[in-house]
Structure 1
């Protein structure tokens, strides 16, 4: 799709990506060159992604989280690999997206079962991974306490689930919560 027979990025595809992201044509070319250098086959496999992510966060076991991140935040078409378009779209949100775009992306990560709301347990699981990566294994108890505090403040209808509206509202109202929720 938009790539020539050699797998190279065409000018047409660069224009499409420029129009669907906040990257310039030169930035897209630069990212593509870096992507192809690191992933000569033109895709990031699930195993490579998990290995890379676990290497970035050596404390604890981030493999389950990285698999979730791979499936729900990067592999948009569900084909088991991340191609350049999926990579650049995710990078666009994480590096150039508005606060709301970043929080919508974070909401998708927290909504591990994809049911449209974030439960206390999903939040505990995510916060545990975040804190373990920053603080080590003693973070599990702190994660649960942090989540209970978050839910007391945010779960307006007290159903032990955060809707996307509640999640986004929390992010807008508190920079400390926003920082924690968006990793």
Structure 2
């Protein structure tokens, strides 16, 4: 990741992306053209990403949620989303298996990157979703209740942390959770 910050998409890079995604060379080239049209500098900055989400959710506060999504896209942690990171994430969301989508969601919920999701991380993530949807001042209270219910169902070893294995297993085995990832 991070190799295509502002340069053109080479045949070699197309081949690498074709081999690491389920996109054809033609699809990669088409997505690259759209990406460069929308982001001529070749990267999506944090501010631009937050602005995009804010426009998509004008009745709520999308800032916190968009920052969580941005962090998950920005695989190399350099503060921008380059085309490689964009296409890899698009690959998971549009062509990935249920498990790949769940693992990507886990990465988003694992805010500190320590390999587990704490109750507080779950509360913060759910609060950001509720704020984005315009729940207002009730968002934090509702998010805490939702997170506690999730932990009661998913935290099998009751250590107040969800490991990736607990998260993936529970999401795959829960029809209500797994249907969220089937898009």
Q: What range describes the TM-score normalised by the shorter chain of this pair?
A: 0.7 to 0.9
Task: Name the counterpart of 2:44.
Answer: 44
Instruction: Please give the TM-score of this superposition, normalised by the length of structure 1.
Output: 0.88
Taking a change above 3 Å as real, the CA distance of residues 178 and 142 of structure 1, as seen in their structure-2 partners, is farther
Task: Name the counterpart of 2:131.
Answer: 132
Structure 1 segments of 4 or more deviating over 3 A?
A: 178-183
2:174 and 2:88 map into 1 onto residues whose CA distance is 27
2:54 and 2:134 map into 1 onto residues whose CA distance is 15
Ranked by relative contact order (alpha carbons within 8 Å, sequence separation 6 or more), the top structure is 2
- Give the Å deviation of 1:134: 3.2
Q: Please list every run of 5 or more consecutive structure 2 residues that lacks an aligned counterpart in the other structure.
A: none
1:17-60 deviations in Å (ceiling 9; x for gaps): 11000111111011011001101111111211111122222343
1:56-86 deviations in Å (ceiling 9; x for gaps): 2234332233223222x11222222111111
Task: Name the counterpart of 2:103.
Answer: 104
Q: Secondary structure at the match of 1:77?
A: coil
Q: Please list every run of 5 or more consecutive structure 1 residues that lacks an aligned counterpart in the other structure.
A: none
Count of residues paired in the alignment: 180
Q: Secondary structure at the match of 1:67?
A: helix
Is the 8 Å Cα contact of residues 60 and 136 (structure 1) preserved in structure 2?
A: yes
Taking a change above 3 Å as real, the CA distance of residues 33 and 89 of structure 1, as seen in their structure-2 partners, is same
1:56 and 1:75 map into 2 onto residues whose CA distance is 20
Task: Name the counterpart of 1:82.
Answer: 81
Task: Name the counterpart of 1:157.
Answer: 157
Superposition RMSD in Å: 2.3
- Give the Å deviation of 1:166: 0.7
Q: Mean Cα displacement is larger for which, 172-181 or 78-87?
A: 172-181
2:54 maps to 1:54:
yes
